[in-house]
Structure 1
Amino acid sequence: MIVLETERLRLRTISVDDAAFYLELTNDPAWIKNIGDKGLRTVDEARESLLNGPIEMQQRLGFSLYAVERKEDHTALGLCGLIKRDSLEDVDMGYAFLPQFRGKGYAREAAAGVLKYGKDNLNLKRLAAITSPENSDSYLLLEELGFKLDKILVLKGETRQTKLYSYHF
């Protein structure tokens, strides 16, 4: 299901058919460094992770991480969407893109679309975002979009520091 479209991109609900793409993305060295190693090593493990993660969240809450595709050729570039983590009070925006699609403005375009979707379709009043303190590409994008740094903390169940940002609509 297509959730939203931007000038160049289409964001759609993720499905088990995206397991190979999800496996590639979650094993990208930048994902492992900045987000963490999900321990997914097979397409079957990726499929199971999708079912128990974004697909379940979409069914339960009506939002999740979405597959980001280029309109022109339907190539899956990355993920961008909304997550409700037990460790955060607010819904947060997350994104990750395959290396060959970074630096082309896709993350900014997708994230701006998700911000608008959160406000206009979900009536969110506040949105959070988290990033590794070392991930300057990510936190600079958040700041460019209008997110403000709230604090640096260690999330429940984690051992490393995380920057917590918020956006008020």
Structure 2
Amino acid sequence: MPTIQTQRLTLSELTAGDAGFILELVNEPGFLGGIGDRGVRDLDSALRYIQDGPAASYARHGYGLWRVELRDSGEPVGMCGLLCRDTLPDPDLGYAFLQRHWQRGYAVEAGAAVLLYARESLALPRVLAIVNPDNAASIKVLERLGMHAQGMIRHGNEPRDLRLFATVAAATEPA
């Protein structure tokens, strides 16, 4: 995957060197409450999270969750990318940012870059997103990205229904 650059951000593959950043990110209250506990408690489990999740997805699908860093400083601020889940018919947009970097527009900026990459480089006709219905901030991000609510779904082992969003699928010729 090529590196993606926006005005303020660089998106690139997560590597073993990102284990400390991942350990911090996935244990923040915002991640735990909005996405869930991934059982990452130390650097070894953070490395396994990268290897078994994003790195395996890069190899299998050509995309995954990417590190989002500030272009000016190289500081990692979050992750954003595409996930391929067995329980969804199309890839879905996922993102999480360190709480100290919330409310700066990074999720919209990174999400827009990922959706553009999905459409132009991967030729994906549709991208989904799932979100806790109580997560007003993420819902606002998805709406600002031009995604549309599709209703509620029960996803995997989630104990609650989630809101499903989708990009508008490309128009097709009538049969």
TM-score (norm. length: structure 1): 0.97
Q: For the residues of structure 1 that align with 2:141 and 2:27, how far apart are their CA atoms?
A: 22
Structure 1 residue 156 displacement after superposition: 2.2
Gaps of 5+ in 2: 171-175
Structure 1 residue 39 displacement after superposition: 1.2
Give the equivalent residue in structure 1 for 2:40.
40
Gaps of 5+ in 1: none
Q: For the residues of structure 2 that align with 1:67 and 1:147, how far apart are their CA atoms?
A: 22
Give the equivalent residue in structure 1 for 2:76.
76
Structure 1 residue 38 displacement after superposition: 0.7
SS of the residue corresponding to residue 149 of structure 1 reads: strand
CA contact (8 A) 1:128 1:167 kept: yes
Q: Between Structure 1 and Structure 2, whose CA radius of gyration is higher?
A: 2
Give the equivalent residue in structure 1 for 2:173.
none
Give the equivalent residue in structure 1 for 2:145.
145
Deviations 1:82-140 (A, max 9, x none): 00011111100000000111111111110011111000000011000011111100011
Give identity over the alignment, percent: 38
Q: For the residues of structure 1 that align with 2:122 and 2:3, how far apart are their CA atoms?
A: 12
Runs of 4+ in 1 over 6 A off after TM superposition: none
SS of the residue corresponding to residue 134 of structure 1 reads: coil
Q: For the residues of structure 2 that align with 1:65 and 1:54, how far apart are their CA atoms?
A: 5
RMSD after superposition: 1.0
Give the equivalent residue in structure 1 for 2:90.
90
Count the aligned residue pairs.
Answer: 169
Q: For the residues of structure 2 that align with 1:43 and 1:162, how far apart are their CA atoms?
A: 30
TM-score (norm. length: structure 2): 0.94
